[in-house]
Amino acid sequence: TQLLEQSPQFLSIQEGENLTVYCNSSSVFSSLQWYRQEPGEGPVLLVTVVTGGEVKKLKRLTFQFGDARKDSSLHITAAQPGDTGLYLCAGPISSGSARQLTFGSGTQLTVLP
Amino acid sequence: DAGVTQSPTHLIKTRGQQVTLRCSPISGHKSVSWYQQVLGQGPQFIFQYYEKEERGRGNFPDRFSARQFPNYSSELNVNALLLGDSALYLCASSFPGSPRSAFFGQGTRLTVV
């Protein structure tokens, strides 16, 4: 069972368009992270959201954490081909004495020139 | 500062063989975690090590083992390889208790034939 569900799974858009991807859970998270991963590379941390209702902006990317801390969204304005990649959301969970990250399955974004 | 480094970057093994993957964390990070990412999925937690001790283990068979050395580097071993072990193996380092500050290496692409 996936704790974090991401949608859509695939998204292909033209350069200049806007888009939103979603990360949803039935569980409350203390924080959520968004990563971007390119083929053959490891995930690169984009942002961490911590407070319910929090909005963070990173250039053309806007991240929001839901009020109940169960969901998050990533909005990209005027997408560019360089935004192409796999976008992953992740949240920390405890397992014994370990603090691990659980990931969603990701949204594969392709921005066409 | 160097990021998380993993070696080798690519590896091809035959079913039944054994493999060892290596990871050097970011300087100052004492916690290392290993993740398996199958094509089209988000990373799945395998192990977390801190101060040379296993702190957590994901839902993986005993064929998977790991260790951490005094310099905080880590090795992941997989015995009796199966075709289904083909994946990108990611190492992440972080300060202990702060998985939301995890930084990933570029991964080792393991192909089992």
| Residues in contact with A86: Cβ distance below 8 Å, sequence separation at least 6, in sequence order | A36, A37, A38, A106, A107, A108, A109
Q: Is A106 on the interface with B (CB under 8 A)?
A: yes
Question: pLDDT under 50 in chain A at which residues?
Answer: none
A92 vs B contacts (CB less than 8 Å):
99-100
Q: What is the pLDDT of residue B112?
A: 98
Contact A25, A18 (CB under 8 A): no
Suggest the residue from A69, A100, A105 to mutate for an interface test with chain B (most B CBs closer than 10 A).
A100
The shortest CB-CB distance from A100 to any of B41, B56, B90 is to B56
Contact A111, A18 (CB under 8 A): no
Q: What is the pLDDT of residue A93?
A: 86
Put simply, the answer to whether B43 touches A103 (Cβ < 8 Å) is: yes
Q: What is the pLDDT of residue A56?
A: 96
Asked if residue B99 has pLDDT above 60, the reply is no
pLDDT band at B94 (very low <50, low <70, confident <90, very high): confident
In angstroms, rounded to a whole number, what is the distance separating the alpha carbons of residues A25 and A69? Answer: 9
| Residues in contact with A39: Cβ distance below 8 Å, sequence separation at least 6, in sequence order | none
C-alpha to C-alpha distances, B86 to B19, B20, B35, nearest whole angstrom: 12, 14, 13
pLDDT band at B32 (very low <50, low <70, confident <90, very high): very high
More confident call, A39 vs B46: B46
